[in-house]
């Protein structure tokens, strides 16, 4: 079987799985899985860029995804004028001052020598921290006191939410630049721990800085790029067309909005996939793989390894940020409490490894396939447990326990899939070529 046929067959398998879901569980579920699958595929594309192309071990995907979500809030919500009056400028001043402190400390590190360097850096950092708190804290308190039940934050720019997708990418890229500057010189597993930590910190910031995006009070009811179901149901033209297709207006409207998202997401995915393919097959992509395979040799050829690593780290993180903004758009809300590393970092890694690291199509396939599995394992597990425990009496402790534990099948299955692929097909379903 030629490789093209095999790859097409694998994507055909995903299509069959989705269509099967549509027929058995309803098209709404199938589209729901497809939409998150498309977003997951984009995240996988980002991680594949970093790991597959450059061998960078980033396990802070969750943080970049969350930054994308933050972008969706900051771009699309309406500004809160009272909050801006209460302390908007002051809080910005505080942030600028904080950034300047760090810049000053870095400069002191670079310019000064010996003991003066250490003392100066310490004075700048400690003094800067207290001054920063002195400027920042009153503004934060004032803003969070403005109508805390519905806002208590600065609000956003009131721009179309689609704009937040590129902005999410930029935000993630900015964070990646800072992280890359400090951590990329480190060894691979140190980089891993560093990114893991950064992701936790970003989530902690989102949870606690209520002035930014309301923290754990969540931002709900974000603007949507597709029409609302209720509007569609009241539109006589739409109801008529739905009826001509033999659908009732409610089902038709939900399918219509989900299809809208699916089309938007597919367009983004195709653009990014095209760009990633172009990059992979360009001299730049070959250089990246050369660096990945032998850093020393690449350095001897005059390639600036650290700069190239920084570049691709930023690009991959930006893609994760875009995906994060898209996901928050799809959910219509930002809930920092729901970001968990197993779901947003390690699952994406399973997607990349299973799909095939170093191959963009592999990453996309992994994203779609693993997401389908992640969603379906629970009902499948429940069915399995029902069959296994069917011989037992109703209400017996063992049976209850078996039925309950079906809810925990997901992690176990993902781990087993990852281990089996690593063992028997370490290059993934669609390997690098």
Query: Is 141 or 271 the residue whose CB approaches other proteins more closely?
Result: 141
Query: Is 32 or 124 the residue whose CB approaches other proteins more closely?
Result: 124
In sequence order, which residues have a C-beta less than 8 Å from that of residue 41 and are 6 or more positions away? 269, 351, 363, 364, 365, 366, 367, 368, 371
Q: How far is the CB of 204 from other proteins (least distance, A)?
A: 5
Residues 206/66, Cβ–Cβ less than 8 Å: yes
| Other Cβ atoms within 10 Å of 23 Cβ, number | 10
Q: Tokens for 307?
A: 């700069």
Rounded Cα gap, residues 359 and 188, in angstroms: 21
Q: How far is the CB of 311 from other proteins (least distance, A)?
A: 20
Tell me which residues touch other proteins (CB under 8 A): 55, 57, 129, 182-183, 186-190, 192-194, 196-198, 200-201, 204, 207-208, 340-342, 346, 349-350, 353, 404-405, 408-416, 418-419, 422-423, 426
Query: Is 115 or 187 the residue whose CB approaches other proteins more closely?
Result: 187
Q: How far is the CB of 33 from other proteins (least distance, A)?
A: 20
Query: Is 156 or 366 the residue whose CB approaches other proteins more closely?
Result: 366
Query: Is 145 or 201 the residue whose CB approaches other proteins more closely?
Result: 201
DSSP line for 368-420: HHHHHHHHHHHHHHHHHHHHHTTTSPTT-HHHHHHHHHGGGHHHHHHHHHHHH
Query: Is 89 or 118 the residue whose CB approaches other proteins more closely?
Result: 118
Q: How far is the CB of 34 from other proteins (least distance, A)?
A: 24
**Angle at the Cα of 270 (from 268 to 274), degrees rounded to 5?**
120
Q: How far is the CB of 271 from other proteins (least distance, A)?
A: 29
266: left (phi over 0), alpha (psi -120 to 50) or beta: alpha
- DSSP reduced 3-state for 100: helix
Q: How far is the CB of 13 from other proteins (least distance, A)?
A: 22
Residues 9/320, Cβ–Cβ less than 8 Å: no
């Amino acid at each position: 079987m030629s490789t093209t046929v095999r790859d097409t067959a694998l994507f055909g398998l995903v299509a069959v799985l989705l269509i099967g879901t549509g027929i058995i569980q309803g098209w709404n579920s199938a589209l729901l899985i497809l939409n998150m699958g498309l977003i997951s595929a984009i995240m996988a594309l980002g991680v594949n860029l970093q790991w597959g192309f450059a061998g960078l071990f980033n396990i802070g995907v969750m943080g970049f995804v969350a930054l994308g979500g933050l972008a969706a809030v900051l771009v699309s919500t309406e500004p809160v004028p009272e909050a801006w009056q209460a302390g908007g400028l002051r809080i910005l001043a505080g942030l600028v001052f904080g950034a300047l402190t760090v810049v000053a400390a870095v400069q002191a590190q670079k310019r000064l020598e010996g003991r003066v360097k250490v003392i100066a850096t310490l004075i700048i950092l400690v003094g800067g921290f207290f001054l920063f708190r002195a400027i920042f804290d009153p503004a934060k308190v004032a803003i969070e006191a403005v109508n805390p039940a519905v806002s208590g934050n600065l609000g956003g720019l009131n721009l179309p939410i689609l704009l937040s997708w590129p902005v999410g990418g930029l935000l993630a890229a900015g964070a990646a630049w800072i992280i890359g500057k400090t951590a990329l010189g480190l060894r691979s597993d140190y980089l891993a721990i560093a990114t893991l930590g950064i992701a936790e910190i970003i989530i902690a910031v989102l949870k606690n800085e209520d002035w930014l995006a309301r923290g754990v009070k969540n931002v709900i009811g974000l603007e949507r790029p597709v029409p609302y179901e209720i509007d569609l149901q009241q539109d006589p033209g739409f109801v008529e067309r739905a009826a001509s297709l033999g659908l009732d207006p409610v089902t038709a409207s939900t399918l219509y909005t989900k299809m809208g998202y699916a089309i938007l997401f597919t367009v983004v995915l195709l653009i990014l996939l095209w760009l990633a393919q172009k990059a992979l097959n360009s001299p730049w992509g070959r250089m990246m793989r050369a660096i990945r395979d032998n850093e020393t040799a690449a350095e001897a050829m005059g390639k600036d390894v650290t700069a190239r690593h920084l570049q691709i780290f930023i690009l991959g993180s930006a893609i994760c940020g875009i995906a994060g903004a898209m996901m928050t758009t799809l959910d219509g809300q930002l809930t920092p409490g729901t970001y968990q590393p197993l779901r947003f970092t390690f699952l994406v890694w399973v997607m990349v490894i299973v799909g095939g690291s170093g191959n963009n199509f592999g990453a996309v396939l992994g994203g779609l396939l693993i997401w389908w599995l992640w969603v379906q394992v629970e009902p499948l597990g429940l069915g399995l447990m029902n069959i296994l425990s069917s011989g037992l009496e109703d209400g017996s402790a063992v049976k209850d326990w078996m039925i309950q534990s079906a809810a925990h099948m997901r992690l176990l299955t993902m781990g087993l899939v990852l281990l089996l692929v690593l063992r028997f097909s370490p290059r993934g379903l669609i390997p690098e070529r």
